[in-house]
Amino acid sequence: MLDIGHIHRKEYELDADRSEPLVIAEAPGRIHYLGEHGEPKAGLFLSSAIDRYIRVVVSPRKDSSLRFYAANLGERKRTTLVNLKYKREDRWANYIKVAIHLFADMGYPVKGLNFTLAGDIPQHIGLASSAAIEVAAAAALRGFFKVDINDDDLLDHLILSKELFFGKEANAIDYLIALAAQQDEFLIVDETSLEITRIKSSISEYKILIMDSRVPRMGVEDELKARWQNIKKGLELLSQKKERARLRDFVTEDLIESMGNLPEEIRRHSMHIIQEIQRVYDAEDALTKMDFQALSRVILHSHESLRDLYEVSCPEIDWLVKRAQEIEGVLGSRMTGQGFGGCTYTIIKEGAIAEYRRRLEDYERIFGFHPVIYEIKPAAGTRLIPA
């Protein structure tokens, strides 16, 4: 990664021998292996942070200006505390503004500040790069102001600040993983309680590859909203028997018994949610026992469910998953992200990677898209970096 401290001093013409405080924090991206398409606000995820990060540097200014520099992009933005608001044209800088808003709202003396941003999290493929900017900026400001606030409280303030600043709900799960993750751990994350169960990685002999299919995605938000509406309707019909229930409170047999009362599309979408919850528990058991065959089945069935029941896959992604699963040395492969294109992840032994790459040549020839591969591993969460 870029030497962000050196870049920051050069950008803002800071003398390395002078005593201006310079605070650097980094926050990771994340991946969901299971559970990503679940009941809104009641999901259960198998996730991890990934070893790709956003770093944010902060230092004081002598004036009241707030300056932002994105080193990877060579872009600069500016504002003041009085004018601290969302601006579409400020794009990446808006996420730093969320953290500034947080500490200003808490009463800390936010005056003139310089920020520099750099990172290696791939953009726009569902790896929570924007949340990593917000968490890294908040951690940097926590260090800058020497604030005695723990990660749990910082999480609560980030959620509130994001909702106030953007006027929409924050994704608490992304913040939580970025703050709580530890090296070589998988996390079972419960969205209803924000509780985490930690599982030490038992797949050290495997590599994890994220593959960006480069399939153009259009109308994804509308498609997902339609599914959320179906989930809501399905829950309303099922919960006539259980007040204040969530889909995780039901089992497959409940849907089978209600087949006459549930439209087929709603039944399929609800079935995916219910079965995916169980798959997360099954994956937890398989990882704990190092039962790789069981884990492989869980990943396979999860993708089949996303394809056939929840209907968020596409021919290109299905082709990639199927071809990966045929390779000896692949533990499992599945789509990840919002769907309708996007990415797959594949857990694979190093000796099988060459064959995996060869098959991607067939993909490019058949579908016309040039895929991009990123190798990742479960990684540690947010921390301060020595300046």
Residue type, 143: G
Secondary-structure breakdown of the chain: helix, strand, coil percentages, each rounded to the nearest 5: 45, 25, 35
- DSSP conformational letter for 378: B
Residue type, 20: E
Residue type, 304: E
CB 290 within 8 A of CB 315: no
Q: What is the CA radius of gyration of the chain?
A: 22
Measure CA 308 to chain center.
24
Q: Rounded to whole angstroms, how far apart are CA atoms 327 and 305?
A: 21
Tell me the β-bridge partners of 206.
349
Evaluated on CA atoms 66, 159, 126, 46, the torsion sign reads positive
- DSSP conformational letter for 191: T
- Buried b / exposed e across 272-310, counting CB within 10 Å, b at 16+? bbbbbbebbebbbebbeeebbeebbbbbebbbebbbebb
369: enclosing H helix or E strand: none
Number of CB atoms found within 10 A of residue 158's CB: 26
Among this protein's residues, is 174 annotated catalytic?
yes
Which residue among the candidates 151, 174, 212, 282 is catalytic per the annotation? 174
124 contact partners, CB below 8 Å, separation of at least 6: none
Residues in the chain: 387
Number of CB atoms found within 10 A of residue 329's CB: 15
Q: Rounded to whole angstroms, how far apart are CA atoms 7 and 23?
A: 13
Annotated catalytic sites, by residue? 174
